[in-house]
């Protein structure tokens, strides 16, 4: 039998397409700019990687401590330390341009205009394969209310970025939204080529000795295996509703976790925190996935995407079936 196909296009509706050799992507903030891990693994074998979040201006980030461990998870409050879009552009894209692996740039901002400004700068930049729009940021114009919690605000950002670039664009959803499906449908409608999910959940730890928050920023983003059940539920809900590809992440530590996300409807997966614990896992995951598909006699990873969805993927259903009502029941705990 031929080796199974691992390839996936994360922007099937975009002429500039975003074809990955395999569906394993290193997640934003956990892989620096790709170079940091070049010494410990063959970065070129990845499906893609996403850069640390870039902002309009350079940021020195939050005070220390910025990270702390929690049960089967971690909290981070890096505070988007990065050289700013201009510093970034001078340095990394030209290095990536010589690379085989697609590099996706994660952008964060506090106003719709700033998102659009960054997208314009990235639009024709050699070395940049796509954009991931991080909408888990406070909207200054809305008193700090997070863009990603609100469908209309999320759609505004998406539309502005879409108008500024034809690059493949993935919008990264916030798990803080009360109804992540509405947000996903809104950004799909506003022109996103794909959605990625989930970003971190906001959490906290307190130092029992000092009686103060462990993190200098008090709160931080929770990631790692602890959040996997939540991430998987959200992917399952969103994948049942949108037609564009869903990129799943949150606590993936190996093949079984990745398979859960594929079955829930993710066309590709991102791996963040696990890379810290076991950098070798990323490449092993690609190999394990290929072997598993062969062992199951599956010709392409895309065949298993959405296997757990009762009605399958909307993009594969007849148009008339595709109008799914939002099912709140899936999101109400039934203790």
Ligand X SMILES: Cc1cc2nc3c(=O)[nH]c(=O)nc-3n(C[C@H](O)[C@H](O)[C@H](O)COP(=O)(O)OP(=O)(O)OC[C@H]3O[C@@H](n4cnc5c(N)ncnc54)[C@H](O)[C@@H]3O)c2cc1C
Asked if 51 interacts with a second copy (CB under 8 A), we say no
Binder among 9, 37, 135, 177 for other proteins (CB under 8 A): 37
**Residue given tokens 């029941």 in the structure block:** 329
Contacting residues for 276 by C-beta, under 8 A, at least 6 apart: 30, 74
User: Which backbone phi and psi does 281 adopt, to 5 degrees?
Assistant: -60, -35
Answer for which of 56, 191, 224, 314 binds other proteins (CB under 8 A) is 224
Q: Is 265 in the site for ligand FMN (CB under 6 A)?
A: no
The 231-270 site mask, x for binding other proteins (CB under 8 A), equals ----------------------x-----------------
Stretch of 5-13, 89-97, 121-129, 144-152 contacting a second copy, by CB under 8 A:
144-152
Contact in structure between 309 and 264 (CB atoms under 8 Å): yes
Nearer CB in complex with a second copy: 59/317: 59
The contacts of residue 279 (CB under 8 Å, 6+ apart) are 37, 40, 41
Q: Are 160 and 112 in contact (CB under 8 A)?
A: yes
Q: Report in angstroms how near the CB of residue 3 gets to ligand X at its nearest.
A: 30
Q: Is 71 in the site for other proteins (CB under 8 A)?
A: yes
- Whole-angstrom Cα distance, residue 187 to residue 172? 10
Instruction: Convert residues 187-226 into a mask of x (bound to ligand FMN by CB under 6 A) and - (unbound).
Output: ------------xx--------------------x-xx--
Q: Dihedrals φ, ψ of 106, to 5°?
A: -90, 125
Distance (Å, rounded) from C-alpha 116 to C-alpha 104?
Answer: 16
206 in contact with a second copy (CB under 8 A): yes
Per-residue burial over 30-46, b = 16 or more CB atoms within 10 Å of its CB, e = otherwise: bbebbeebeeebebeeb
Q: How far is the CB of 265 from other proteins (least distance, A)?
A: 24
267 binds ligand FMN (CB under 6 A): no
Is residue 72 close enough to count as binding a second copy by CB under 8 A?
yes
Task: Report d(CA 133, CA 274) in Å as an integer.
Answer: 22
Q: Judging by beta carbons within 10 Å of its beta carbon (0-12, 13-18, 19+), is residue 223 exposed, middle or buried?
A: buried
Can you spell out the DSSP letters for 44-90?
GGSSEEEPPPB-SS-B--PPSP-EEEETTEEEE-----B-HHHHHHH
Among residues 25, 27, 137, 238, the one annotated as catalytic is 137
Say whether residue 122 binds ligand FMN (CB under 6 A). no
Of the candidates 32, 127, 176, 312, which one interacts with other proteins according to CB under 8 A? 32
Q: DSSP label at 208?
A: T
| Binding residues among 98-117 for ligand FMN as defined by CB under 6 A | 106
Q: Which two tokens stand for residue 215?
A: 């993190």
Considering the complex, what minimum distance in angstroms separates the CB of residue 94 from other proteins?
12
Give the residue, chosen from 233, 284, 316, 317, that forms a contact with a second copy under the rule CB under 8 A. Answer: 233
Contacts with other proteins by CB under 8 A: the residue count is 45
Tell me which DSSP letter residue 300 carries: B
Tell me whether residue 137 is one of the annotated catalytic residues: yes
Does 178 participate in binding a second copy (rule CB under 8 A)?
yes
- Closer to ligand X at the Cβ: 67 or 283? 67
Give me the phi and psi of 42, to 5 degrees please. -85, 85
| Binding residues for ligand FMN (CB under 6 A) | 27-30, 52-53, 76, 78, 80, 106, 134, 172, 199-200, 221, 223-224, 227, 249-252, 271-274, 335
Q: Which residues of the chain form contacts with other proteins (CB under 8 A)?
A: 29-33, 35-40, 52, 57-61, 64-69, 71-74, 76, 78, 81-84, 87, 95, 224-225, 253, 273, 275-280
Which residues are tagged catalytic? 137
């Amino acid at each position: 039998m031929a080796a199974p196909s691992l390839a996936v296009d994360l922007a099937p509706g975009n002429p500039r397409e975003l074809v990955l050799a395999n569906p394993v992507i290193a997640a934003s903030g956990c892989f620096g700019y790709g170079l940091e891990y070049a010494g410990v693994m063959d970065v070129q074998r990845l499906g893609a990687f996403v850069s640390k979040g870039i902002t309009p201006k350079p940021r020195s980030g939050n005070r220390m401590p910025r990270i702390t461990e929690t049960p089967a998870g971690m909290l981070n409050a890096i505070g988007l330390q990065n050289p700013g879009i201009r510093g970034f552009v001078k340095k990394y894209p030209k290095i990536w341009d010589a690379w085989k692996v697609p590099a996706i740039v994660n952008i964060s901002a506090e106003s719709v205009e700033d998102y659009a400004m960054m997208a314009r700068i990235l639009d024709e930049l050699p070395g940049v394969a796509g954009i991931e729009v991080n909408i888990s940021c406070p909207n200054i114009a809305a008193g700090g209310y997070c863009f990603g919690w609100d469908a209309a605000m999320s759609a505004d950002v998406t539309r502005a970025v879409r108008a500024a670039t034809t690059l493949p664009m993935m919008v990264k959803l916030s798990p803080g939204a009360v109804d992540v499906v509405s947000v996903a449908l809104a950004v799909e409608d506003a022109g996103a080529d794909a959605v990625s999910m989930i970003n971190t959940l906001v959490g906290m730890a307190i130092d029992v000795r000092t009686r103060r928050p462990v993190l200098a920023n008090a709160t931080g983003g929770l990631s790692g295996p602890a959040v996997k059940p939540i991430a998987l539920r959200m992917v399952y809900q969103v994948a049942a509703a949108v037609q564009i590809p869903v990129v799943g992440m949150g606590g993936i530590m190996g093949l079984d976790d990745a398979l859960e996300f594929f079955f829930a409807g993710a066309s590709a997966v991102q791996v963040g925190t696990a890379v810290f614990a076991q950098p070798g896992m990323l490449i092993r995951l690609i190999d394990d996935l290929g072997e598993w598909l062969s062992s199951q006699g599956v010709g392409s990873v895309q065949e298993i995407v959405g296997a757990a969805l009762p009605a399958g993927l909307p993009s594969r259903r007849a148009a008339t079936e595709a109008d799914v009502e939002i099912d709140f029941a899936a999101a109400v705990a039934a203790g």
